[in-house]
A and B are shown apart, each in its own frame.
Chain A
Amino acid sequence: MRDPDPFVPRLFRVEEARRENADTTTLGLVPSHGEIPSFLPGQFFMLYAFGVAEIPVSVSGLSGTGRLLHTIRAVGAGSRALCRLRPGDFLGARGPYGSAWPLDRAEGDDLLLIAGGLGAAPIRSALLRALAERERYGRVVFLYGARGPTELLFRPELEGWQRRPDLEVQVTVDHAPPSWRGSVGVVPERIGHARFSPAHTTAFVCGPEVMMRFTASALLAAGVSSERIFLSMERNMKCALALCGRCQFGPAFVCREGPIFRYDRIARLLFLREI
């Protein structure tokens, strides 16, 4: 018997394609045969658009729902082709790969979920899991920054989250029209306005690298331990199997040891230029 070939994708069908904003789409995928392997918030799949490209995309939903949810921003050939898919279209997917948000480790702690831009996609899966087992955590806080109000992802859901008494949500935007009633400014600034007890807090952060650097510094300044801050890193990926070498980040393969890293383990690399 031959071993399975880890490079070959599995066939999935688009069940739902939901437009989030001008350039971002959430796809709901179901496998053509068999079950979806179980996965954890923070992990990712390689999605293949026929004849175009295969790209890493985080899960934005939960395991065990019978479908895979991915929220994709069209930035180049591969992501654009995926965002163009409509219900009934086919694509390839393989995974899950990489490390997960350590939700179990955070049990009993206040949970600070911090997202910048598209970072809301992998953070969403952690938030959904936390809300599904709400009693395991202390306070749960979601801080979310976007460029403008029209770029916010998961808008209908966001309103629902904002109404929940057991969840604190703070949304901030870089630029806002006069009608915007929320806050304006960058995410790290919101940390000082959130309610959590720093000594018993675990923070998950996902967004552009600069945003994560500032956020991590602000969290440390607020008294959160560097061992309880987790970041999701991005590097170029071609295989997700630790075989192509492209996702190296110092000694780590982001596709294997990452994408979720504990802050104190990568702090030195994070502040190096072009590593």
Chain B
Amino acid sequence: MPEAQVPASQGSIMDREGLQALLDVLTSRGFGVVGPRVRDEAVVYEPIRNVADLPEGWTDRQDGGRYRLERREDRALFGYAVGPHSWKQFLFPSRQRLWQARRTETGLEFLEEPSRDERWAFLGVRACELCAIAIQDRVFLGGVHRDRSYAERRQRVFVVAVQCAEPSGTCFCVSMQAGPKATCGFDLALTELLHAGSHRFLVEAGSRVGQEVLAAIPHRPANEDERRAAEKVTALAAARMGRTLETRGIRELLQSHPEHPRWEEVASRCLSCGNCTMVCPTCFCSTVEDHSDLSGKHTERMRLWDSCFTLGFSYLHGGSVRKEIRSRYRQWMTHKLSTWFDQFGSSGCVGCGRCITWCPVGIDITEEARAMRSSLPEETAHV
């Protein structure tokens, strides 16, 4: 985890071999490196060892309910936006043992989870994903009760950010002030520079460990042209957002219109499948289960990702609170864009677009927000 910020570096330049050296240095320092690679026709985050594992020459096309990989003209290694995975699956695993219990001669015994020394290095973290991690940090570590397993994993993570060059058709990080340029929260940040046959990376260190790691790989100081070229990458990306979301007054807008007819309308399309919550890098809801062995003497307490779109989520004796899909979609979207502020002091949405892309029927949070706003008189819409 990046500690105290270090003075902004002027930027260094490394080439493709430098990137391989970075992977090697991280591995030799005991990190398991996870990064993007192509699997089942999508860019996913998995362990990687070599630069050759990265999705070289691939880009993605995304729209509501659509995701497709396409070949690029060049050999870019990071020439796509985000896929169905997010870093949350490493910091907050979809399935995790919380503790175990055992019957003993004299009663019962609870066994805590031992601390694990897995250390992840995340390669290719986008600006919106840094924001999503910061949001989950507030959820899991910012309250009275801290999630110890999250804290232990998080503490040891080394973050290599990559500045976005190719926002997808569903990206709207600019609206959410979450990208496309990563400015903090990383140990190292790379900007991929592809120009007339040359393939280089501008590297910035964001922490002391980042500086140490950078010192161990071949690099040279960046010149003025290279710095300007790097600036241009994110500036161009910012100008090519696939979507926008007007955030002015959105918090009040949603909380003050729980009976808006649009909730009914979106519910008629929503399948309540929960895909949006699974792919969302900030959604944190979970359930627990007891898994007992056949002897009945031992049980494991498991925590699993859950979704506010399931009927069981709001179950109380006598029936679920949110029986209708209308109430469940309202809960989800109001939480993301509105009540999250009350709870954690920020929006729960970073504009990564995953929920739009991976919704089987292409429901679009930006479109829903727009529809709700436009159906209301100006003053109410802009509270």
Contact = CB atoms under 8 A, between A and B. Distances in A.
A50 B259 CA distance: 42
A32 interface: yes
A251 interface: yes
| B interface, size bucket | 35 or more
B340 to A, nearest CB: 9
A5 interface: yes
Interface stretch (A120-128, A156-164, A238-246): A238-246
Contacts of B110: 8-11, 92
B339 A246 contact: no
Nearest to B143: A242
| A interface, size bucket | 35 or more
Main secondary structure of the interface of A (DSSP, over half): loop
Nearest to A238: B288
B148 A5 contact: yes
B139 interface: yes
B144 A242 contact: yes
A197 interface: no
Contacts of B107: 11, 13, 32, 90
Contacts of B41: none
B333 interface: no
Contacts of A32: 107
A253 interface: yes
Nearest to B335: A248
Given A51-B101, A243-B147, A274 B327 contact: yes
Interface in B133-183: 139-140, 143-149, 151
A236 interface: yes
A245 to B, nearest CB: 4
A106 interface: no
B103 A251 contact: no
B108 interface: yes
A180 to B, nearest CB: 26
B99 A246 contact: no
Given A8-B99, A76-B317, A274-B323, A238 B287 contact: yes
Given A244-B285, A246-B306, A236 B255 contact: no
14 contacts: A3-B148, A10-B110, A51-B292, A51-B299, A238-B286, A241-B145, A242-B143, A242-B144, A242-B145, A243-B140, A246-B313, A248-B331, A253-B343, A275-B321
Closest 5 CB pairs of A and B: A251-B342, A245-B285, A274-B327, A241-B145, A251-B339
Given A8-B110, A248-B335, A250-B255, 11 more contacts: A5-B148, A236-B313, A236-B316, A238-B288, A241-B144, A242-B144, A243-B286, A244-B285, A251-B339, A251-B343, A252-B342
